Amino acid sequence: MSFPETLDRIGGIGRFQVMHVAFLAIPLLMLASHNLLQNFTAGIPEHHCQVRIMANYTHHANLTASLPAEDLLRVSIPMDRSQKPEKCQRFVTTQWQLLNPNATSTNTIELDTEPCVDGWTYDKSLFTDTIITEWDLVCESRTLRQMAQSLYMAGVLVGSAVFGRLADRFGRKALLIWCYLQMAVTGICAAFSPNFTMYCAFRFLTGLAISGISVNSVSLCIEWIPTNVRAIVGTINGYSYTTGQFILAGVAYAIPDWRWLQLTVSLPFFVFFLYSWLFVESARWLVISGKPEQAVKGLRKVARINGKMEEGDKLSTEVLKSNMQKELSSAKSSHTITDLVRTPTMRKISCGVSCIWFSTSFSYYGLAMDLQNFNVNVYLTQLIFGAVDFPAKFISVLTIIFIGRRFSQAFSLVLAGLCILANIFVPQELQTMRMVFAVIGKGSLAASFNCAYIFSGELFPTVIRQTGLGLGGTMARVGSIMAPLVRLTGEFFPSLPLIIYGAAPIVSGIATCLLPETHNVPLPETIDETPQLQREPGTEPRSPSSQPPCSNH
């Protein structure tokens, strides 16, 4: 009898599993609030140089005080091509002659200008206060905004490696408790940061915690769930993240001050920290780590909650070890990251999975972290971008089940790339059409994420499945780090970011077609069995009891 059959005997999907999934999914609602937070805490309001006050000349000072605001701007700030005040330049001296009705914009070409040496004036009608207005991250300092988001994503990347290894040593529950606490503390510290450097440091630490929560929530959830419902549970977790995007839009609209917003989305993690002590550690990890007595205790607790006390009483350390001989022997086998490239088939799979995860995350955050670029209300855009994930993920589940993994993955990537590239040719004034293409593209990338979790887990053999998924996760983090930086290439050629964001998923979609289909194909247990994936689909799939229990979908 295998471990999945042991789970079935003590309840399968019982009261414990339902509560377990629910309490692990609730914190996932708040992950989107931090991943996409800088759309609001780093929102860029309309701004221009502070107007020079002619205090040394009494008649000019009196005139300045009596002028309408638009006239004061006209004589103080040059206009750009759209007849809006320049953001980073002002006249060296106040140009009163521009008040003449006969004055034209051509009159300003020869006039001397200077940088905003006295600071900036910000329009606070949309954002009351952001890190942009707090530390003047505009003009020469505008690249610091993207750097802050990249540093946060770098924390997510480092956390994926650090907390993944620590979880294998100290357990999923212990690391999850710590990450909830770290999330709450560093998030609150970021809200009270006295300067930009401290803000970036705390955001980096928040990224570390976010990654630990994501990795260990999935592991702790999957390892208590029967194999045949893991895809459904994975979709529930995905929808939790999607719902969090709605929550972020509402909370950000209600709280326009960045410090209070940062505080509001961080405080709930104290609640998660408190109830996380009630989680039951993974019995599978406890046995593999040489703690079968604690595993039996946990399994009996689960059986009691599920109303299967008699089945729980039958369990013992000897029975459990006997049931998990295969897992124990696999755990004793020595496998390293080099196994990902040891054979030609593994090299092809590893390269394909890396492309899928990198391009999906790269283009996703390229779109999702630049909502202001669509010239539509940023809160409404966040709602629309969140809403499209629901049908996109549902459709992806249907295509995954009834058509296949490879088609679903490739189609979602290519469609996303084409939609992003299409916006290069749509004029800025056609806002609705630009938004439609962006929304379809973002939904396709959400569907690609959904496919990647399942497809990647089925491509790698059981003995290195976690290592393979770790590779995919790492490439996704690299993509999310690079996404904000690519936005800076727009300084040289405005359409270049969209070209890069669109080309990446198309290339990856084509590469996906070279990977084997895993739909209705027995999953490989060892590296030597991996070439069996090349066989034609249609083979009778394994029973849930024989599928790899650690498959992290």
DSSP state of 551: -
Structure-block tokens of residue 94: 């106040």
Residue type, 241: Y
> What is the full per-residue pLDDT of the chain (553 aa) written as tens digits?
566 677 777 777 878 888 888 898 899 888 888 888 988 998 888 888 888 764 444 445 555 555 667 777 777 888 877 778 888 888 887 777 777 766 555 455 567 888 888 888 888 888 889 999 999 898 888 888 888 988 998 998 888 778 777 877 788 888 899 999 999 999 999 999 999 999 999 999 999 999 888 878 877 887 777 777 776 777 787 788 888 888 888 999 999 899 999 999 999 999 999 998 988 888 877 877 778 788 888 888 888 888 877 776 777 777 766 666 666 665 555 666 777 888 888 889 999 999 999 999 999 988 887 777 777 788 888 888 888 888 998 898 889 888 888 999 999 999 999 999 998 998 878 888 888 999 999 999 999 988 888 888 788 876 677 677 778 888 988 998 898 888 888 778 888 989 999 999 999 999 999 998 887 776 666 677 666 555 544 444 443 333 333 333 3
The helix (H) or strand (E) run that includes residue 119 is none
Radius of gyration of the chain, Cα coordinates, nearest whole angstrom: 27
Domains and CATH numbers, the chain: 1-38+128-332 (1.20.1250.20), 47-122 (no CATH), 333-553 (1.20.1250.20)
Query: Rounded to whole angstroms, what are the CA distances from 335 to 232, 331, 462, 468, 494?
Result: 30, 9, 11, 11, 46
pTM: 0.79
What token pair was written down for 367? 């779109």
d(CA 522, CA 527): 14
Q: What is the distance between the alpha carbons of residues 243 and 221, in angstroms, rounded to a whole number?
A: 19
